[in-house]
Structure 1
Amino acid sequence: MMKVERAYKPEFDKYVPLEEWLASPHRRIKKIPINIVKRKDNLLRFAEVNIELARWLTWEIQTADIEQESATGLKYASKMYAAFFECAREPQKTSTFKTYDLPEVNWDGLGLLEQGYINPSEWFDAYFLALITRDTDSMEALATFPVETMRQSATTAGPVSYKLVEVFQAYHHRTSNFPTLLNECMAMAMKQGNDWALDIAMGYLETFAALTTNAGFDFNEVLAKNLQRQEQYQIRESGPDHVPIDSFIPLQLLGMACMWHDRGNEVSVESDSLPRFLIDGRYF
């Protein structure tokens, strides 16, 4: 087994206790049944708060109750994320969404593109969250979401981001052009050359290549390398006064670890950022 220690370690005793970091998402989650019916962008906000809670819970002692709480929140988040993207697929259409025991809601997608909500970074989180939670319905919906619709969003991304979506969707559908798209995207990321392209995009691509091709990569070695590399990126991006919370659970790398596990392979990387109960799919 390869043990990967986190570089970032919150000083809970010195600054903000863990209980305080958990209090805000706990408080907002309690209000979800009331507030989810108020406006459609709450689908996205409440998905994100459940992910935030799961990330902070990785610093707790991992009892069965903590694992269950984390897994349950991610299950809800996956459905909410997918519903949010479905709203934007046909903005004029009103659709009905029911997330487990939450109130049924009816939303159209008017304004979502104009407000910049529908972009590749949100799609990456949504799709790999569906992979982690083994939410096949959400995976299928996201895998068919048009990249051209994302390009119409007020929040624009670079060409590598859109190409990444195409790569993941091509693999999902097992299209013959997947290897070509993978290689093209790698070349684009190398040419772009900034920290995001080299540390994040290439990290996704290298790990995905190790997962899906016979290119000679060792999946666990690549996973361990990119887990550390992406944490360092998040620490730099957050700066000294902010917590690199995205590194606590890197959804894309965790999703790929789940795929590797579900194919009958061993995930030999041990890290608090890759909770074993999520890799195993224990609560899904």
Structure 2
Amino acid sequence: MMKVERAYKPEFEKYVPLEEWLETPREAREEMAECIVLRRDNLLLFSEEMLDLARWLTWETQTADIEKESATGLKYASKMYAAFFECAREPRKTSTFNIYDLPEVSWNGLGLLESGRIYPGQWFDAYFLAAITRDKPSMDTLATFPVEIMRQSATTAGPVSYKLVEVFQAYHHRTSNFPTLLNECMAMAMKQGNDWALDIAMGYLETFAALTTNAGFDFNEVLAKNLQRQEQYQIRESGPDHVPIDSFIPLQLLGMACMWHDRGNEVSVESDSLPRFLIDGRYF
């Protein structure tokens, strides 16, 4: 086993106690059924709150109750993320969603692109969250979401981001051009050369290549390296006055670890950022 310690350690005793960080997402979970019917954007709001809940819960003692609380929140988040993207597919169309025990809701996607709510970074989170929660229907709908629609969003991204979506979608559909797209995206990331391209995009691509190809990468070694590299990136980006919360559970790397596990392989990287119960799919 390779143990990867987290570099960032919240000073709960000195600053904000863990219970206070958990308070808002736990309140959101209690209000979900009441508020999901009020406005469409709550699909995204609650998804993000449930991600925050799961990320802060990694600092709790990992009891069965804590694990179940985290997994349950992520299950709702996966469905809501996918629903939010589905609204944007045909903005004028009204779609109806039945998400577990929540009230049925019907929304269109008018204004989503103009307000910049749909972009590759959101898609990465949505797709790999669906992989973590073994939510194949959501993975399938996200895998068919047109990249061209993302390009119309007011929130723009660099060419590497859109190419990354194409890479993941090509693999999902097992298209013959997947290796070509993977190599093209790696070359684009190297050429772009900034911290995001080298630490985040290349981290996704290297780990995904180890997962999906016979290129000679050791999956666990690549996973451990990029887990540390991406945490350092998040710490730098957050700065000294903000918490690098995305590093507490890096959805894309965790999603790939889940995919590796589900193929019958051993995930030998041990880290609080990669909760074992999520890798094992214990509550899914």
The one-letter code of the counterpart of 1:204 is Y
Amino acid at match of 1:30: E
Alignment of 1:53-132 (within 5 A): 53-132=53-132
Letter in 2 for 1:184: E
The superposition leaves residues 34-55 of structure 1 with CA deviations (integer Å, 9 ceiling, x where unpaired) of: 1111111110010010010000
Distance in 1 of aligned mates of 2:133 and 2:47: 13
Partner of residue 29, structure 1? 29
TM-score of the pair, normalised by structure 1: 0.99
1:7 and 2:7 matched:
yes
* Distance of 2:255 and 2:89 partners within structure 1: 24
2:248 alignment counterpart: 248
Distance 1:57 1:81 in 2: 20
1:175 CA drift (Å) = 0.3
| Counterpart mapping for 1:196-275 below 5 A | 196-275=196-275
1:74 alignment partner AA:
L
- Equivalents in 2 of 1:106, 1:9: separation in Å? 42
Structure 2 unmatched runs, 5+: none
Structure 2 equivalent of residue 138 of structure 1: 138
CA–CA separation in structure 2 for the residues paired with 1:276 and 1:103: 32
1:100 to partner: Cα distance? 0.5
Deviations 1:113-143 (A, max 9, x none): 0000110000000000000000000000000
Alignment correspondent of 1:277: 277
The answer to whether 1:165 aligns with 2:165 is yes
The aligned counterpart of 1:47 is 47
Distance in 1, Cα, partners of 2:237 & 2:94: 38
CA–CA distance in 2 between the matches of 1:154 and 1:39?
20
Measured after TM superposition, the shift of residue 256 of structure 1 is: 0.2
Aligned length: 284
Residue 162 (structure 1) shift: 0.1
Task: Provide the aligned C-alpha RMSD in A.
Answer: 0.5
Deviation at 1:259, TM superposition (A): 0.4
SS of residue in 2 equivalent to 1:112: coil
User: For 2:3 and 2:131, how far apart are their aligned partners in 1?
Assistant: 23
Does the residue aligned with 2:215 lie in a helix, a strand or coil?
Answer: coil
- Aligned to 1:31, the other structure's residue is in SS state helix
Identity of aligned residues (%): 86
2:28 and 2:54 map into 1 onto residues whose CA distance is: 14
Q: What's the CA shift for 1:28?
A: 1.9
| Ranges in structure 1 where 5+ consecutive residues have no aligned partner | none
Q: Which residue of 1 aligns with 2:155?
A: 155
Give the letter aligned to residue 199 of structure 1: D
Deviations 1:88-135 (A, max 9, x none): 001110010011111110100000000001100000000000000000
Q: Distance between the aligned counterparts of 2:142 and 2:13, measured in 1?
A: 41
